[in-house]
Structure 1
Amino acid sequence: MLTSPEALLAIAGMLAVTLAIKASGLLLANRLPQTGFIAAWLRHIPGAVLASLVAPAVATGGPAEALAAAATALVFVVTRNLFAAMATGVLAVFLLRMALGA
C-alpha cells in the first residue's frame, strides 16, 4: 500500500502540532503559581470540568442516570476515592440501563 506525499505531510503536520501543544503545556506548568489563590483555583479545574461533562447527562437522563449519580456520590463521600466513585458510576449506569430497559 502506497501513501501519497500529501497524506504523509498531513500526518507530519498533525504530529508537529500535537507535540507543540503538549510541550507548551509542560513548559507553562512550570510557570504557574504553586501557592495562593490562583494555585487553589487551578486545583479545582479538573473537578469542574468533570462535573460539566456529567451534569448534562444526569439532568437530561432518566432514572438510571439519576440513580447512578446518587450511587457515585455516595461512594465518593464514603471512600473519598475518585477512581472508585467513577467506576461505580459507570457500572451503575450500565447495569441500571440494562435493568430498566433504558
Structure 2
Amino acid sequence: MEVRLDVLLAILGMALVTYASRAGGYAVLRAVRPPDFVQVLLRHLPGCLFVAYVAPPLLAGGWPAWIGAVVVVLVQIASRNLGIAILAGVGSVWGLHWALPVLGLTP
C-alpha cells in the first residue's frame, strides 16, 4: 500500500481545520457570553444536525431504512441506550438487505 503525500496532507489539513473550528468556538464562548437567542439556538442545534444527517439516507434507503429507523426508536425506548439502538437499527437494515434477495424480494 502506497501513502500518497497529497492525500495525507489533505487529511491532516481537514483535521486541523476541524479542530481549529471546534476549539475556536469553545474559546469564543468562554470569553464572550452570547445573547439569549444564540444560547437557545445552540441548545437546539444538535437535534437539527441529527435530522440533517439522517433524513437524506432515510429517504434514499427505501422501506428497509424506515424499518431500521423504527427499530432504532423502539430499542431506544426499551433500553434507553443509544448505542444499542443504533446497532439494532443498522443490524436490521443489514439483515433485510441480506435476506430480501434470498427470499426473492427487492427492497
Shorter-chain TM-score bucket reads: 0.5 to 0.7
Q: Deviations over 1:42-77 (max 9, x none)?
A: 233222211222122222322211111110111122
- Structure 2 stretches lacking a partner, 5+ long: 102-106
- Aligned partner of 2:58 in structure 1 is 58
TM-score when normalising by structure 2: 0.61
After TM superposition, the structure 1 = structure 2 runs for residues 32-47 of structure 1, keeping only pairs within 5 Å, are 38-47=38-47
- The residue number in structure 2 matching 1:67 is 67
After superposition, the Cα gap between the structure-2 partners of 1:79 and 1:21, relative to the gap in structure 1 and judged at 3 Å, is: same
Question: d(CA) in 2 for partners of 1:32 and 1:81?
Answer: 33
Q: Residue 74 of structure 2 aligns to which amino acid in structure 1?
A: L
CA RMSD across the alignment: 3.3
Aligned-residue offset at 1:40 = 4.4
Q: Which residue of 2 aligns with 1:24?
A: 24
Percent sequence identity is 32
Q: 1:95 Cα shift?
A: 1.3
Distance 1:28 1:64 in 2: 43
- The match for 2:13 is 14
> Where do residues 76-87 of structure 1 align in structure 2 (5 Å cutoff)?
76-87=76-87
Q: TM-score, normalised by structure 1?
A: 0.63
Q: What amino acid sits opposite 1:58 in the alignment?
A: L
